[in-house]
Structure 1
């Protein structure tokens, strides 16, 4: 009887605590959404009632928070904020970056390639790594490595040509562009030839598929790393499992060792990692760091170099097929660029003389962002005041989320938001857009370090493809395409089939 009584007392206390915790925002006079008392505001995606992107959109569009600059919600029982107002997003991500230096997303010691990569790592180690890696992405360095991208993009055209029957072929562009991205990052960053365009089952491609093939545990682990990273450790989830980690360590270590022996300088990521190896790098608690910090950067560059760019480019190709008039404008621009540069494809031509192509890519990223939202945590021990929006002070370590997907499809910011319209990002229209209404690459000091690299990679492939082919729909081309996975390019059960029709510009 005493045991039963004790059980009920504990149950009552837990219930009281849950309801007290759920009253957090009400007590602080902050607009909020009332959600599942146990799982919080992301319960619909956790219970598989909808995809994660849709869950975030549903939160954003709740009527009780329709016209507020920010609102509260819960991740399980932990209070967090969603920031809706672009001006406030700019304050948090750009102007007052020092108060929000870290991402929520993190890993732990048992997953060193996850813990120490540039996306997950915390400041001040993040800044030391970022400062060292930034030179890899300067215009001068990208110009020097452009010949490699040019070669790989030529291989891309050859692989399409090899499949042609009567000047036409149906291709799964998800796989084609993922193979291209894999070969680019292997060659440009590591000095290796993955040859994925020749062999779609190359070792590098299989690693890429493994990273973005999900089951329940991997999906839950990714979710927890982005929301409650301490719980990812409890279930033993690693961002880079032992097989992927072993593959990357072996390959990168081999190249670094050979490069150190020969003294060869390619001005690529491997050269930078060899420089990092000479530094006395320490973790934020002062403990020395193993070579895993080097392999971690190689891993995250692999992800950024093939998956995110490949996904965006696949979506852009899909929209060009749906909008032949826009495709014609891009092809006309490419033709003019080639005439200006005497028929040669150069770095300057690709980057400076194809502005409309860049607008197409940005518009694709607006409609189909890589992530549903961008996370930050308050790193100011004294908290952060939200005045004049509110007298609430964001407490130390509170999680904040900037909802990229809902923002990009908000009709108040982007009229007719589901329409694919690259002219939204023309110079004259872009200057009237709120600074952080579009956050496809992030914003502020932690903006994607590879943004310029991604543009070169994508635009080079587009120029080579559209110079030779017209993209047209096939009978298998989907009428709509979903965005409920940030691994959109890696869905083998949902091929994105388009027709490549030979139609050279010259």
Structure 2
């Protein structure tokens, strides 16, 4: 008994000294590079904290704690990372010195998991530059204009369904995340794959089943797999066991849908202004940028005209094309529906804002004189844009982004502040925290679209308003996300108001996720206007 206690005490003492030695070594690592270090937790505690908490709120706690610093360092699962808090440094590394920070930190390569490894967000270096240059023409304003009729049809279809439901059952409350997920499913099916879906009337369609699995991307099991892939020894075991994020059946179904659509169009000479058509052109090397340069009217939309000093690649493999369809599916299904959900929630919570938006929608409807909403009228709704922009400010669907240092970097500020980053170090940029900081946005908890009015938006620091990212690795699909969000909000508010009900969470709760701002439940009452 005594021997067991003695051995246990010795092991504890050795462990304490070892931890202290590791901590001192880590502090010295960052100190030598001019960076303050945040104390890291024991691995098991760190893992448990990530799995049982909302990572956005954890990051925000760190942001508040170290707000006086410009950059801090920490070790995440033994890997050195930096947390960038200063907007000046953020712009420097993401725009001016982008050539040092071209990549994201990715854990799934295209050899092991082609679905995720070949997506635009996972590609690195020249492969990413080639793909971004090739895809950019597919997301210009002119291409959005041609796709809008498809989005319009899905919006009308959804509004008509809820009108029928209200006529039969009266006003009813709905979980907005659920209904918007069904809407984005139909939009993606139509705009990306040329499929006709009506998920409200046929909720068990195959396309939506895959979508729900994709939406479960941030489930505890998938989060655990992502964490495993971050740790090199476990990552190798996971690769050996062929652990993938999406099951084989879903991947095969997804691939079959794309190939069948492409084959049918080739054989029957079918043209449809959707993503499949654009990718078919891309595969043949025929996708060209439009000569029409449309002015970027929304402060939220990012610029798709990015000079990457590279010529678009002329041929692409089937795996590469399927991956772009998949990331379009993943982003459209989840992040877009999240934006729509928070928009409806804030409009219900702020009836004065909703009233102003209803007035604009009614004016547009009168101007259309019975015609369907068109792209030009959609773009002309300035207050709608202010509402969506403010929603993205308060509730960015992607709460944090990163940049991977691809070669040693020395930062020298105009005021003499300097630090050094080694190749392989990942830098985190806290989108949610920056956009919630009262230093940049007074009364950040207040939903105030007028802060983005024509008279006020010039005072907005665009270095901290980055819901779609910043620099050349921003979100290529921002215009599409804004277009479909404005379209469905228009059609629903043309027929309903968003009202609070007994089931509405005030304040709204967020799900525990690895990097997104997802509502736990957003129950809103749809009340017919007429």
Mapped partners of 1:75, 1:39: distance in 2:
12
SS of equivalent residue, structure 1 residue 471? strand
Give CA-to-partner distance per residue, 1:124-175, whole Å, 9 cap, x none: 1112111222222112111112111111101111121122146422222111
Aligned equivalent of 1:263: 269
For residue 326 of structure 1, what is the aligned residue in structure 2? 353
Structure 1 residue 424 displacement after superposition: 1.9
Q: CA RMSD in A?
A: 2.7
Farther-moved stretch of structure 1 (266-275 vs 413-422): 266-275
Which residue, 163, 168, 174 being the options, matches 1:171?
A: 174
Q: Distance in 1 between matches of 2:470 and 2:231?
A: 23
Q: Please state if 1:121 is matched with 2:103.
A: no
2:35–2:73 CA contact under 8 A, matched in 1: yes
Q: 1:232 Cα deviation (Å)?
A: 4.7
* Structure 2 residue 509 is matched with structure 1 residue 482: yes
**1:219 aligned to 2:260?**
no
Alignment of 1:346 with 2:348, yes or no, is: no
- Residue 246 of structure 2 aligns to a residue in which SS? coil
* TM superposition shift of 1:217: 2.8
Q: Among residues 195, 198, 203, which one is paired with 1:200 in the alignment? A: 203
- Would you say the 8 A contact 2:184–2:332 is kept in 1? yes
- Indicate whether 1:302 and 2:329 are aligned: yes
- Whether the aligned pair in 2 keeps the contact of 1:36 and 1:43 (CA below 8 Å) is no
Question: Could you say what secondary structure the match of 2:149 adopts?
Answer: helix
Q: CA deviation at 1:327?
A: 0.4
Shift of 1:28: 3.0
Say if 1:114 and 1:240, in contact at 8 Å, map to a contact too. no
Cα displacement (A) at 1:377: 0.6
Q: Is the 8 A contact 1:179 1:205 kept in 2?
A: yes
Q: CA deviation at 1:233?
A: 5.3
Extract unaligned runs of 5+ from structure 2: 1-6, 286-312
Alignment of 1:61-460 (within 5 A): 61-62=64-65, 65-108=66-109, 109-164=111-166, 165=168, 167-213=170-216, 214-223=218-227, 232=235, 234-236=237-239, 237-278=243-284, 290-344=317-371, 345-351=373-379, 353-379=380-406, 381-388=407-414, 390-460=417-487
Q: Is the 8 A contact 1:90 1:435 kept in 2?
A: no
> C-alpha separation between the residues in 2 aligned to 1:39 and 1:372?
24
Which segments of 5 or more consecutive residues in structure 1 lack a partner in the other structure? Answer: 280-285
- Kept in 2: contact 1:378–1:397 (CA 8 A): yes
CA distance in 1, matches of 2:462, 2:343: 23
2:49 to 34, 45, 49: 45
**2 CA distance for matches of 1:339 and 1:399?**
52
114-123 vs 133-142, which moves further: 133-142
Partner of 2:529: 503
Distance (Å, rounded) in 1 between the aligned partners of 2:56 and 2:517: 12
1:299-339 deviation digits (Å, cap 9, x = unpaired):
10111222111001101101100110100011111112223
Work out whether residues 37 and 76 of structure 1, in 8 Å CA contact, stay in contact via their aligned partners in 2.
no
Note closer, same or farther for the CA distance 1:209–1:47 as it changes in structure 2 (3 Å cut).
Answer: closer
Structure 2 residue aligned with 1:283: none
Distance 1:296 1:468 in 2: 38
What whole-Å deviation, never above 9, does each CA across 1:405-451 have from its counterpart, x for those lacking one? 11111111111111111112223322112222111100111111110
Distance 1:32 1:20 in 2: 11
Q: TM-score, normalised by structure 1?
A: 0.88
Distance between the aligned counterparts of 1:194 and 1:270, measured in 2?
16
> In the alignment, which of 48, 55, 58 is matched to residue 55 of structure 1?
58
Q: Indicate if the aligned counterparts of 1:154 and 1:464 stay in contact, CA closer than 8 A.
A: yes
* Number of residue-to-residue matches in the alignment: 482
Counterparts of 1:446 and 1:162, CA distance in 2: 43
Distance 1:173 1:292, change over 3 A: same
Q: Aligned partners of 2:327, 2:455: CA distance in 1, in Å?
A: 35
**3-state SS of paired residue (1:170):** strand
- The residue number in structure 1 matching 2:41 is 36
Mapped to 2, the partners of 1:367 and 1:392 lie a distance apart of 31
